[in-house]
Structure 1
Amino acid sequence: MEAQYRIIYSGNLLPGQELSEVVPRLAKKFRMKEETARDLILKGGGRVLKQNLGAEDAERYRAAMTAVGLVITIEPQNTVAPQEASLLRPYAEPTEKPKPLGLAKRTERSAKPSPKSDGSWSVCPKCGAAEVSDLTGVCQACGVVVERYLESHGQSQGAESGAQNPYAPPGADLTPPLLESGGEDRLYPPRAVEAGRGWGWIAEAWELFKDAPGGWIGALLLFYLIVILLSIVPFVGSLATTILGPMLTAGLIMGAHAQHQGEGFSVSRLFAGISEKPGPLALVGVVYLLFAFLIVIIIGGLFAVMIGTSGMMAPGATMNPSDLESMATAPSFLLPVLFALLLGIPLAMAMFFAPALVALNDVPVLQAFKLSFMGCLKNILPFLVYGLVALVLVIVAMLPLMLGLLVVMPLLTIALYTAYRDIFYR
């Protein structure tokens, strides 16, 4: 049996850490009030934060708490199990009349955890698990912050479970889990990262690429071959490319995700999106196509208004090349172009992470567009750095007969996944 460990807060701060700095960090990390965080730091010495952990999980928990500024120790845990009771018990006549099955179920379901005598909780009021940390007030089973959960349900830490506010609106706990468990990736709202992460995305992408360079080069060559062949078909080909593009891109992202989790990468990963989630990913392409078509209509309308107001379409008017040249160089001609940029750039931002959100986390399509747009909007500087580095890499890659693109294009594609992890995962 694997050795078990427990995490203990020593009651001390790391050298160089000030209480005034650690308190807001702890409050922000665990989403609690600063007053509560201060009391926990000052009165939590010797408390067991988590138990029944393997060595790897224990180190992960200690690293998370150390980052806040607390001194954490790991101790071996006594894993000797208590003696089991006998499976055979003397038969005794029931003293109470058995309840109907339906009533028994309702009674069992209505039993709720209650606070201890001092007003604190050792059993989670949401899931019922006895996994609430005495220090942080966070349930290690479901990740809920007890204080926030009680407030959202009209209760307080010191209130009895029956003293619920009857006028409080029903609330759902939206607190994200504190730490990832079991290696499972959890989706969070997009966050802003440092500008230097734009280069970090490419550097991390290189680590994945160099583990399977042949597979990535082959997948990208096949990707562009499919796009080129479809583009040859008039009209229908461009529509098919728009719809199929997100599906193939999602396959590459799913391949990078599998590779990040220790699996291999092969050319067949390109079609993972088509085989596993064809409907939602095709809908991504359809929604993008509709938005793009709407932009084309708006820009076309602006051009039509400009030509109409110029008098060129008036009865008896003649159009010569000089008139077209003067109209093209007029400042007003830039108005539709600016509108195209103002509408096209947000659409590109909304599309950037949408295939990844749908493929990896089953996010609804419209919500995926919204989250992708917010993720890009919060990280303009990192994307600027990423774009500049990508431009330099493409220019350098084109020098030796463009052979360097065989490396750069897969690298930039994988960077889409590493950026996604950085912005949406914790």
Structure 2
Amino acid sequence: MQAVSLPALAGWRWVRDGWMLFRKQPMAFFTWAMFVSLILMVASVTPPIGPLLFVVLMPTATLLSLSASRHAEQGQKILLGTWIAPLRVAGVFKRLLGMGALYVVFCLILGLIAFMPFSAEVTEALKSVTVSNDLLPLLEAVRTPMAIFAVLYVLMAAIFWYAPALVGWHTIPMTRALFYSGIACWRNKLAFVVYGLSWLGIFLAIDTALSALSMLGLPKSLSATIQVPINVVASAVLYCSFYTSFVSVFNTQQAVVSDSEPVN
């Protein structure tokens, strides 16, 4: 698979085209985003198995989102069977589970790399918390390793970003898919910066707007209730934008809105 190099503003177009794709079948995508949110909530309250299973299933969920988005872009109604259709291909689910397991292993390795040099400081801070119930020393102790982990995680995420689609749609071996994904993200790094900043701005704008309503007298409970469906819609559009990103970077024929000519 040959990835093109797109201008920085392509990152914003992925967001815009994700919104356009969401509007084609909003209830289907809203329901999917709500389902993913519920699974995440269940995983968060069932450690350690829940979070591990959630991460292992992330590549599978990504491919399901991409496949549903492709159906919507082609004007096909998204039904229940549409979501699981990609998993009916022989061997796909097994390879995606293997990718998810590898993702977990990479996360653990990156965690060790980031935190091991600071283990003494973190341990001392934990002892301080048990004595004084003051979280400030712990927060200060983990600030640097968390920053290191964040940088390493972004690099790792690039390797896995497009891999589920390359494995599920194009039957590319996992190692090659990870390599192609990393190259594609590197060639479009400026577009991904704009893409990430765009989504950061969107979610911050949602939170700021609802906080402002609370300051103007709207009950906090009502504000929180309103924020839930808005966040779900934003998440659904985010999932749709994964598809618009893929089809533009790999120049497939299913693009929702064609990007400008690639930049060499």
Same fold (TM over 0.5): yes
Shift in Å at residue 270 of structure 1?
3.4
Moved more, 235-244 or 402-411: 402-411
Q: Greater helix percent: which structure?
A: 2
Deviations 1:375-409, CA, capped at 9 Å, x for gaps:
22221221222223222322344436213223221
CA distance in 2, matches of 1:228, 1:415: 23
What's the counterpart of residue 382 of structure 1?
191
Determine which structure has more spread, i.e. the larger CA radius of gyration: 1
Unpaired segments ≥5 residues, structure 1: 1-187, 314-318
The answer to whether residue 34 in structure 2 is matched with residue 196 in structure 1 is no
Please point out which of 325, 330, 354 is paired with 2:163.
Answer: 354
Moved more, 360-369 or 245-254: 360-369
- Call closer, same or farther: CA 1:397–1:302 in 2, change over 3 Å: same
Shift in Å at residue 297 of structure 1?
2.2
- Call closer, same or farther: CA 1:408–1:380 in 2, change over 3 Å: same
TM-score, scaled to structure 1: 0.48
Q: Greater strand percent: which structure?
A: 1
What's the counterpart of residue 112 of structure 2?
297
Moved more, 401-410 or 286-295: 401-410
- Call closer, same or farther: CA 1:349–1:325 in 2, change over 3 Å: same
For the 8 Å contact 1:209–1:410, the answer to whether it is kept is yes
Q: Percent identity, aligned pairs only?
A: 24
What's the counterpart of residue 343 of structure 1?
152
What's the counterpart of residue 255 of structure 1?
68
Shift in Å at residue 351 of structure 1?
1.9
For the 8 Å contact 1:273–1:281, the answer to whether it is kept is no
- Call closer, same or farther: CA 1:345–1:380 in 2, change over 3 Å: same
What's the counterpart of residue 231 of structure 2?
405
What's the counterpart of residue 223 of structure 1?
36
Deviations 1:95-115, CA, capped at 9 Å, x for gaps:
xxxxxxxxxxxxxxxxxxxxx
The answer to whether residue 55 in structure 2 is matched with residue 242 in structure 1 is yes
- Call closer, same or farther: CA 1:305–1:258 in 2, change over 3 Å: same
What's the counterpart of residue 257 of structure 2?
none
CA distance in 2, matches of 1:204, 1:328: 39
Please point out which of 31, 46, 49 is paired with 1:233.
Answer: 46
TM-score, scaled to structure 2: 0.75
Q: Give the aligned length.
A: 230
Shift in Å at residue 325 of structure 1?
6.5
Higher relative contact order, structure no. (Cα contacts within 8 Å, ≥ 6 residues apart): 2
Moved over 6 A (4+): 324-328
For the 8 Å contact 1:273–1:359, the answer to whether it is kept is yes
> What is the root-mean-square deviation of aligned Cα atoms in Å?
3.1
Unpaired segments ≥5 residues, structure 2: 211-222, 253-264
Task: Kindly report which structure 2 residues correspond to 1:88-99, keeping only aligned pairs within 5 A, or say none.
Answer: none
Shift in Å at residue 371 of structure 1?
1.7
CA distance in 1, matches of 2:201, 2:119: 39
Deviations 1:400-425, CA, capped at 9 Å, x for gaps:
62132232211111101111111112
CA distance in 1, matches of 2:149, 2:114: 6
For the 8 Å contact 2:15–2:241, the answer to whether it is kept is yes
